[in-house]
Structure 1
Amino acid sequence: MAAPRTLLFLSLLFAVLQGRGQRLPSPHSPLEKVVTEGNLSLRELVGRWFLVGTASRCSYLAENSHRLEATAMTVTVPDGQSLAISTFRKLDGQCWEIRQHYVPAGAHGRFSVRGEHRVVVGEADPRSYAIIYYQDSQGLSVKLYGRSSQLSDAIVDKFEQRARAVGLSEDVTHYFPTYGGCHTAQPATSQ
């Protein structure tokens, strides 16, 4: 009799969360299998990063890959536990700053954004690159960031291997230009 009660409880919980617009994480999410950088200090991520590549099944990205603009972001650690991300990207000819706050979500290197997006710092050498996994209602994506806009072939190969490991092939991998965009935009001085 305990099993039917458990199932009833879980189905009620699921219904309540769906009614609030929240989703339960998939028990078979590829993000659950991603190993994080256990010895990485968040403070090592502080500073300027450039978006080098993205592997994603996002239909907008596929349809507009010819319009990609160089994208830069600045990372701060305001409280020692969370990440404040300030992304600069061009939209309609103007540079825009998009601010996000990644709060800890369980194990080291795992975060959530506004409770609906999950983020995992999968692998990083804070002096040169970071491979970060994102999951939202649209699915999973893997992004390659660099301290410079150009990275070695070995790092790009590693990124492509990590993307393939979660089911994202080269045909859904897009690389960002190293020119133009908002590379020279300066982050806001206050958070």
Structure 2
Amino acid sequence: MAGVWRCMLAVVVLMCVCLWDSTEAVGGAKSRPRPQRPPRKKKPVDPLDSTPAAQNVDIEQMTGTWYLLNTASKCTFLMKHGTSVEPTVMTLTRANQTLSVSTKTRRDHMCWEILQVYHLTPTNGKLTLKGSSPALNTEIVIGETDHTSFAIMYYQKQGKITMKLYGRSVDNLSEPMLTKFEQLAEKQGYGLAYLFPFPNYSHCGTVDKDHVINCVPTC
């Protein structure tokens, strides 16, 4: 008789082991789930971390005049007014560990000049436009350039990227370079609907001093 009880006890133990991980035993209550660690949150990848600066960037050679030819962005302003953008020209001047930036464009039929300062960083080809707080800084990467004809620049603010294609002249940029800009923009998720060509004529010259402002633009 004792042997029979031992046999039945062994069967019961075996059943318990088999049903340990089941959510519900036949005719019984739900088993208590094992506590699990929450999955570790992946550290967000900074988009500019995957956009290295051009190795050949020479800040001294980047100084001078650049004409804005094309922009890739999901900026709210451009989404609303991208079909009516005005010719824009940027002038860079080196000053110690900064670049003085003058951007001239037309608004309401008047020429305006926006003055900014890009701060050089320890990484060649990477700059910072400081906002009212570090969280509002704009990080800038000179992605590609030959210094003499074109420059592709990435601007990141609060995780959003705007790409800009500049040329030294409004009429000497090759079609392959325009195509390359479109391809690079597509890698950032910007299809043709997010590309905004800028006029290559009627750029502003001298600006009235009352129309010179220090500003951190949205885009």
TM-score by length of structure 1 reads: 0.78
Deviation at 1:56, TM superposition (A): 0.1
C-alpha distance in structure 1 between counterparts of 2:98 and 2:118, whole Å: 6
- Counting only pairs closer than 5 Å after superposition, residues 97-108 of structure 1 correspond to structure 2 as 97-108=113-124
Q: Percent identity?
A: 36
| RMSD of aligned alpha carbons | 2.0
1:54–1:143: 8 Å Cα contact kept in structure 2?
A: yes
C-alpha distance in structure 2 between counterparts of 1:185 and 1:165, whole Å: 38
Q: Is 1:120 matched up with 2:141?
A: yes
- The partner residue of 2:180 within 143, 154, 158 is 158
User: In the alignment, which residue of structure 1 is the partner of 2:196?
Assistant: 174
User: In the alignment, which residue of structure 1 is the partner of 2:66?
Assistant: 49
Aligned length: 161
C-alpha distance in structure 1 between counterparts of 2:61 and 2:123, whole Å: 18
C-alpha distance in structure 2 between counterparts of 1:68 and 1:83, whole Å: 25
C-alpha distance in structure 1 between counterparts of 2:117 and 2:44, whole Å: 25
| Unaligned runs of at least 5 residues, structure 1 | 1-25
Q: Is 1:149 matched up with 2:170?
A: yes
- SS of the residue 1:64 aligns to: helix
- The partner residue of 1:96 within 109, 112, 130 is 112
User: In the alignment, which residue of structure 1 is the partner of 2:48?
Assistant: 31
- SS of the residue 1:69 aligns to: coil
Q: Is 1:73 matched up with 2:90?
A: yes
| Unaligned runs of at least 5 residues, structure 2 | 1-42, 210-219
C-alpha distance in structure 2 between counterparts of 1:58 and 1:130, whole Å: 20
1:121–1:133: 8 Å Cα contact kept in structure 2?
A: yes
Q: Which amino acid aligns with 1:95?
A: C
Q: Which amino acid aligns with 2:103?
A: T
Provide runs of 4+ in structure 1 moved above 2 Å: none
